[in-house]
């Protein structure tokens, strides 16, 4: 029987670094010309620099150059990781500053809101003609011509009384058909 354990298939994914930020504190195994060197990137850089100095003191220029190249590789990795960490920190500080500004604006709005509500509740003297005091209208019973109002078609229609409708005349009843009429129809049908 086969084992259907899916976790065993994904074991390799666990060892993969998730972010570049891990590089600074991550422990590496470096296989250099003088054997394995284990440690964080800074520790590996220090170790390879020490090995390069020792090789220079013993007049081994090839090994010295080799150790310096290994140290330079880890220095590049470390500087790239630190650059990305700095960029992430800058983003975080910008985000925090924006959040702080938003909180300040919101608190300012919250303090202004009760003052605005009090202003809305208080009577306002504005230039709105609907809210301005209106003159009293006195109905004198005069015609519209005397009151100075403009006549409109609607006002004219109200003035004219409608004529009462004349009663309808009853419809004429159709005359009963005579006996000759059916005979005429049948003859016309035959002609066709």
pLDDT in tens, 87-131: 999 999 999 999 999 999 998 888 887 766 666 666 555 677 777
**pLDDT tens digit string along 14-72?**
555 445 557 778 888 888 877 888 899 999 999 999 999 999 999 999 999 999 999 99
What per-residue confidence (pLDDT) applies to 1?
Answer: 45
Phi, psi torsion values for 137, nearest 5 degrees: -100, 125
Q: What CA dihedral angle connects 44, 49, 55 and 58, to 10 degrees?
A: -130
Asked if 43 and 71 touch (Cβ cutoff 8 Å), the reply is no
Geometric angle at alpha carbon 167, from 166 and 170, rounded to 5°: 140
């Amino acid at each position: 029987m086969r084992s259907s354990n899916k976790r065993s298939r994904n074991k390799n994914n666990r060892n993969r670094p998730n972010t570049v930020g891990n590089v600074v504190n991550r422990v590496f195994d470096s296989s250099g010309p003088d054997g394995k060197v284990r440690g964080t990137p800074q520790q590996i850089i220090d170790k390879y620099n020490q090995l390069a100095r020792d090789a220079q003191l013993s007049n081994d220029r090839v090994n010295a150059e080799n150790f310096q190249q290994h140290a330079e590789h880890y220095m590049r990795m470390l500087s790239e990781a630190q650059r990305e960490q700095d960029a992430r920190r800058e983003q975080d500080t910008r985000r925090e500053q924006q959040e702080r500004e938003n909180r300040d604006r919101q608190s300012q709005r919250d303090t202004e809101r009760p003052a605005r509500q009090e202003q809305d509740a208080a009577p306002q003297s504005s230039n709105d003609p609907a809210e301005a005091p209106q003159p009293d209208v006195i109905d004198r019973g005069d015609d519209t011509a005397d009151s100075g109002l403009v006549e409109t078609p609607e006002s004219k229609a109200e003035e004219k009384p409608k004529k009462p409708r004349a009663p309808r005349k009853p419809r004429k009843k159709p005359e009963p058909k005579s006996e000759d009429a059916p005979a005429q129809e049948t003859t016309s049908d035959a002609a066709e």
